[in-house]
Structure 1
Amino acid sequence: MRIVVVGSGYAGTLVANRVAKKVEDAEVTVINPRPDFVERVRLHQQIAGTRSAATPLVDMLRDGITVRVGSVEKIGDGTVALADGERIDFDHAFLAVGSTVAPMPGAVAVGTWEGAQQARTALAALPAGSQVAVIGGGPTGIETAAEIAEARPDVRVRLIGSSVAGGLSEGASRRVRAGLERLTVDIIDDDVVEIVAGTGEFDDVVRLRSGWDLSSDLTLWAIVADVPPLAALSGLAVDARGRVIVDEFLRSVGDERIFAVGDCAAVPGARFACYTALPQAIHAADNFARLVRGRKPKPHSFPYWARGVCLGRKDAVTQLTHADDTVREAFFGGRAAVVLKEMASSSAFSSARAGRSAL
């Protein structure tokens, strides 16, 4: 039985390992644009130079799984078409291409491996006294700004967003902002309307909706809000954001041979996160195994309980949530939150490699 997994992030890597383990005659091929597994939850550390976020796929996947490095242009009708002209046939497929970043011209996207590498090189070359602008007030922006500020106290870091930490409860938001301020991050609650090349001392001018212009030597775009267009270009049913519309069993509503998991799947109530992607991957792989054995698949459901955000290596905030991911008033920070966030990040890595929950 020929199984193709498109994408090898958290969801794709876990699916490939779990299917290879649970379905004896499965011939699993993983197609990924790079030969490495990238821990997206650690890209801010990659940028700041405090930790590597990449591990070779050969060290992540079970023996017997075939890795094909390449870009997929279309999936459907039992075939995956690659950019180099190769076609790979499948009996079943898992689409796990994750999410991506569409930066404003002039900014470096920090939510992708390539962008993180570019940002790391540029940051390392900045002299003391330089200015870094991080655009995006959500977790990616907060963690990027905090990590850089802690690793490079000799540069000035500005975090720009319409509502920095606005997705948290009032108390947790205040705690995050206080943590950023302790790291001397300047918080600017505003929208960026344009980034233009500087004509003087600085590389960029960041123009805000309020009318202010900010100088920047390095401008980083930290808003993860898009998905790759593969599903839409392939003619699969997608929602307004381009995510694959799936049934309750995580199968594409237009082609039951294709499962979709992670950020690229339009699962009601799900948000972009490895915290979401891993349980989906487990469930999709298990449903596939059930179908192979002639059993009925089970509907997917998953309760949330928390959100976490790092504030450098020594501080963090954990926001407790209801099962539907709406925030509670309760939160905690400090060392306990640091330990919990690191446990979650390490468990995500272990889960993907083991093909099961690490908890």
Structure 2
Amino acid sequence: MTDILVLGGGYTGIAAAIRAAVRTRRAGGKVTLVNASARFTERLRLHQTAAGEPLADYSIEEVLAGTGVRFVRGRVAGLDAGRREVRLDDGRVLGYDKLIYALGTVTDTSVPGVAGHAYTYDDHASAVRLSERLDALAGGGTVVVAGGGLTGVESAAELAEARPHLRVVLVTRGRPGSMMGERARAHLDKALARLGVEVRTGVDITKVLPDAVEAAGGELIHSDATLWTAGTKGLPLAGESGLTVDARGRIVVDSALRSSHPDVYAVGDAAAVSRPFGVLHGTCQSGIPTGLHAADSLAATLRGRIPKPFRFGYIHQPVSLGRGDAVIQFTRPDDSPRRGYLAGRAAVIYKEMVSSSPMPTFKLLKRGLAPVWALALTAGLK
């Protein structure tokens, strides 16, 4: 038997665990998945949770049913790659022969005051706490969303639409949706204006206070609740375990997605995956394909074969703008914008297709199949 341990029960970790179970079954693979929560969190939809919208509740054990993957609930506290052991915060120690690290990233709280005064999307409970805070502002108030990336834009739009009595201020150094083409950005700008989102660009936040954010130069922007979406980093656990990490704490991997320790693979947001156009940025679009590839690489190694190199190319940047609007920027494999884009109702339908419940994808994986979109992404098409 080969003990395969998967750390992290998000989109990527579950995909990797199911794929590893299917691909290593005949080679004697025994897969265990570890996650701090028994609940599967649709992290792509946490902005909806913050807005107070009820979402489907899935247990990880139910998701894994029929795969043979054993689920262990526990928070990872230590990793000893030399001894091939993982220590949980309750003192339990789990041994392994091969490990897939899918613990993702956490919010970068290096800006003073973020850790103590800002809300984040690090887990489902964090989004619920923000929702409860906004419920307390029934009489009105100001919400500051820090960060003009896709998460910040989706959050600002969702909160403004679901809670119109609140003033929503999107604060960012650059232009919201700056990675998009001009026409897609124009639609995004109009949508934010229609929803009443106040956009403040060119602002560098230097401190978060209990009732405000402070910009460089000393300006204070009042805030009754601050949501921080301005950057993520890897967990300290990876670097502390002796694995090679990059400047953001993500595990550096080779073309088979192996870390500096050959028995440890890293996937999803937790991995620094190099492509000819640069290091992949953390999205579900790239996350699940890395999970599938790591499982395939591991299975090939157990059979004495040389793993194939990982290939990947981006195809789109999908952004919801509330429940009734969206914009989809189609991209080249290096994530630069193409001319084509979708907006409005067509974009809403497209967005729901690509980021709806991952349960159909997991069901395909249980049958030994991969979704068509994953095959397209990993083809690395030009």
Question: 2:370 corresponds to which residue?
Answer: 357
Q: For residues 145-184 of structure 1, what are the structure 2 equivalents within 5 Å? A: 145-163=156-174, 164-184=176-196
Is 1:6 matched up with 2:7?
A: yes
Kindly indicate whether residue 134 of structure 2 is the aligned counterpart of residue 123 of structure 1: yes
Question: Alignment partner of 2:312: what SS?
Answer: coil
Distance 2:253 2:23 in 1: 23
1:17 partner amino acid: I
Kept in 2, the 8 Å contact 1:17–1:62? The answer is: no
Trace 1:58-69 onto structure 2 (pairs within 5 A): 58-63=61-66, 64-69=68-73
Gaps of 5+ in 2: 373-382
Say yes or no: does 1:71 pair with 2:75: yes
Equivalent position SS for 1:181 = helix
> Of 72, 96, 99, which aligns to 1:93?
99
Give 3-state SS (helix, strand or coil) of 2:50's partner. helix
Sequence identity percentage: 38
User: Take 1:191 and 1:68, find their aligned partners in 2: how far apart are those partners?
Assistant: 42
Q: Does the Cα contact within 8 Å between 2:38 and 2:59 map onto a contact in 1? A: yes
Of 178, 185, 197, which aligns to 2:197? Answer: 185
Match of 1:29 in 2: 32
User: Which structure 2 residues correspond to residues 205-216 of structure 1 after superposition, within 5 A?
Assistant: 205-209=212-216, 211-216=218-223
The answer on 1:134 being equivalent to 2:145 is yes
- The one-letter amino acid of 1:129's match is G
Q: How many residues align?
A: 352
CA-CA distance at 1:54 after TM superposition: 4.6
1:111–1:350 distance in 2 versus 1, CA, 3 Å: farther
Q: CA deviation at 1:149?
A: 0.9
How far apart, in 1, do the equivalents of 2:108 and 2:363 lie? Answer: 29
- Matched AA of 2:168: V
- Secondary structure of 1:248's counterpart equals coil
Structure 1: segments with no counterpart, 5+ residues = 198-203
Q: Counterpart of 2:209?
A: 196
Over aligned residue pairs, what C-alpha RMSD do you find?
1.7
Structure 2: which amino acid aligns with 1:351?
Answer: T
Q: TM-score, normalised by structure 1?
A: 0.93
CA-CA distance at 1:111 after TM superposition: 4.3
Name whichever of 62-71 and 301-310 sits farther off: 62-71
Task: Write the letter of the residue equivalent to 1:68.
Answer: V
Letter of the 2:24 partner, please give it: V
Alpha-carbon offset, residue 106 of structure 1: 1.5
Other structure's SS at 2:232 match? coil
Give SS of 1:281's match. helix
- 1:260 match: 266
- Deviation, 1:320, is 1.4
Partner of 1:144: 155
Match of 1:200 in 2: none
Distance 1:352 1:327 in 2: 30
In structure 2, give the amino acid aligned to 1:147.
E
SS of equivalent residue, structure 2 residue 106: coil
Question: Do the aligned residues in 2 keep the contact of 1:205 with 1:214 (CA within 8 Å)?
Answer: yes
Q: 1:348 to 1:21 in 2, by over 3 A?
A: same
Give the TM-score taking structure 2 as reference length: 0.88
Distance 1:79 1:111, change over 3 A: closer
Match of 1:322 in 2: 332
| SS of equivalent residue, structure 1 residue 175 | helix
Query: What SS does structure 2 have at the residue aligned with 1:93?
Result: strand
Change (3 A) 1:195 1:132: same
Retained in 2: the 8 A contact 1:278–1:348? no
1:6 and 1:352 map into 2 onto residues whose CA distance is 17
